[in-house]
Structure 1
Amino acid sequence: MRVRRISAALAGSAAVALTLAACGTAEVGGDSEGGGEGGGGDTITIGVKYDQPGLGLLEGSAPVGFDVDVATFIAGELGYTPEQIEWTEAASANREAFLQQGTVDMVIATYSITDERKNVVDFAGPYYVAQQDIAVAADDSDISGPDDLAGKVLCSASGSRSANNIVEDMEIDAELREAGNYSECFELLANGTVDAVTTDNTILAGFAAQNPDAYKMVNNPFGEEKYGIGLPKGDTERCEEVNAAVTKMWDEGKTTEFLDSAFGEVGFEYAEEQPAVEGCA
């Protein structure tokens, strides 16, 4: 798999405080009746993150970032203009509930495809495959990979399994500290409450680019996280439409364009080839 080193500046997030999480959500609940030429339904409601620099970060009244760009492209292919998109904050812990309850029409929020999640929601994609990594304080010289986390305090966000991958699957004896979101994890890292934060390298790259004097990635990636578009269970027709949009996004070079514009130069490398799209049930 070819990879490309990101060199573009982090788009518009350098001055945004890490404490931005827990902002109120955008208005939800449009009359989403499907896409089609010219707009189909009145609106489409999409859940994204509001606290992840480079991916989904609330700036003013609207979110920006890679996932937001992906969501906007997909919505366009479904027949919705940017003005017809209603954004809402989808934290890691509420993504399945939002889809099951009809709060959102889809979730594009660093949402890894797993067999457990497939029991309750459907996924289109993946639109990107990330890897897990670790972020530490910029002056930390003790942690260079998962094995160095034994005896350390490790933070991960509620609803994410990243820390469990290390403690349970890799059987490394780290002390887990769960936070509401990754903004909180990085606040805990900044004040010394935790020794490290672990999650997808895309998420860590955004935070590290936002404040390179405070944080760094260890750049020792492991595992794979397939980012999917979460959909309500049984929405096969919409899933197929979204998969076609994802393929078009890669074919037209839009995905790498979105990645280039989203991240700062933090030694993060991203894939240049579309991951295999999984079939819709």
Structure 2
Amino acid sequence: MSYTERGVRKGFDVEVGRYIASSLGFEGEQRIEWVTLITEERITALRQGRVDIVIASFSITDERARDVSFAGPYLVTTPEVLIAAEYADQIQTIPDLRKEEIKVCAAGGSTTERLLTERAIPFEEAAGPPDCRDGILAGRYHAMVSDETILAGFKSQYPDQLQIVDMPFGVDESLGIGVPLEDEHLRNLVSYFLDKSYRQSQDGRTTAWETAYTNNLGPWLGPAEQPPPLDVPDLVDHDDKVAR
């Protein structure tokens, strides 16, 4: 979803961020300031004005919507389980995660915490998904639970050491773009440009969203379509009306 390779930001969220920035008139890498946030910092960073927009596997929930505004969803995903490949025979079901000898990790401040608590699955809290992944690789944890998009990225990095297990948690995660609660205009603009991309995809045109998905998630998760964003304002993009 988001990573740095040789000093260059890459990933699905990063490419969506570039599309949004360009649509808002900030085209070019020199006009974007990338800020790395751990899971628990996302809301605080928006409320303190440290960032203008958060695109970081940010699930839309009623609780979070009291503190930040969301545009989207721009992706619908599901929670899954990542395990060390050597435990493939021992961890296959939700009851397996409840076993005393199985140590499960989850990122602090994530929706995964509530998911695990509601299902009576003991877990240890880490600062972010990469910390859980590193813990699995180091043998401190046996499994972690997070969005399948994040887990697909970890699996792509360590294909022989990690394995994704599909478990019937029965919930979907709608990922949104977070903006400050009081900035209604920015939320509306971001929502409008997400919807513009969605409408273009419905017309059969190749979009920045489709390219971002194909480049980053498609090889691991298979085909997908951009979901229609909710609460889209009735705006007109005058750039589309100007002869080029």
Deviations 1:3-39 (A, max 9, x none): xxxxxxxxxxxxxxxxxxxxxxxxxxxxxxxxxxxxx
- 2:28 is equivalent to residue 79 of structure 1: no
Q: Which runs of 5+ in 1 are unaligned?
A: 1-54
The aligned residue for residue 22 of structure 1 is none
User: 1:245 and 1:129 mapped to 2: Cα distance?
Assistant: 18
- 3, 6, 9: which is aligned to 1:63? 9
Structure having the larger proportion of residues in strand: 1
- 2:175 is equivalent to residue 227 of structure 1: yes
User: 2:71 and 2:229 mapped to 1: Cα distance?
Assistant: 11
- Which segment drifts farther, 253-262 or 194-203? 253-262
The aligned residue for residue 95 of structure 2 is 147
Contact 1:127 1:227 in 2 (8 A): yes
- After TM superposition, list the pairs within 5 Å mapping 1:68-147 onto structure 2: 68-82=14-28, 83-139=30-86, 140-147=88-95
User: 1:147 and 1:270 mapped to 2: Cα distance?
Assistant: 30
State the AA in 2 paired with 1:126: P
Structure having the larger proportion of residues in helix: 2
Closer/same/farther in 2, CA of residues 101 and 110 from structure 1, 3 Å limit: same
- 2:109 is equivalent to residue 159 of structure 1: yes
- 209, 222, 236: which is aligned to 2:184? 236
Deviations 1:33-53 (A, max 9, x none): xxxxxxxxxxxxxxxxxxxxx
Contact 2:92 2:167 in 1 (8 A): yes
User: 1:177 and 1:100 mapped to 2: Cα distance?
Assistant: 27
Contact 1:201 1:221 in 2 (8 A): no
How far the C-alpha of 1:279 sits from its partner, in A, is: 5.3
- 199, 213, 224: which is aligned to 1:259? 213
Q: Cα RMSD over matched residues?
A: 1.8
User: 1:276 and 1:247 mapped to 2: Cα distance?
Assistant: 6
TM-score normalized by the length of structure 2: 0.84
How far the C-alpha of 1:273 sits from its partner, in A, is: 4.1
Paired residues, number: 222
State the AA in 2 paired with 1:255: W
How far the C-alpha of 1:62 sits from its partner, in A, is: 3.4
TM-score normalized by the length of structure 1: 0.74
Closer/same/farther in 2, CA of residues 273 and 59 from structure 1, 3 Å limit: closer
Closer/same/farther in 2, CA of residues 275 and 137 from structure 1, 3 Å limit: farther
- 112, 118, 135: which is aligned to 1:188? 135
Deviations 1:223-262 (A, max 9, x none): 1111111101121111111111112223243322211101
- 2:115 is equivalent to residue 169 of structure 1: no
Q: Which runs of 5+ in 2 are unaligned?
A: 202-206, 234-244
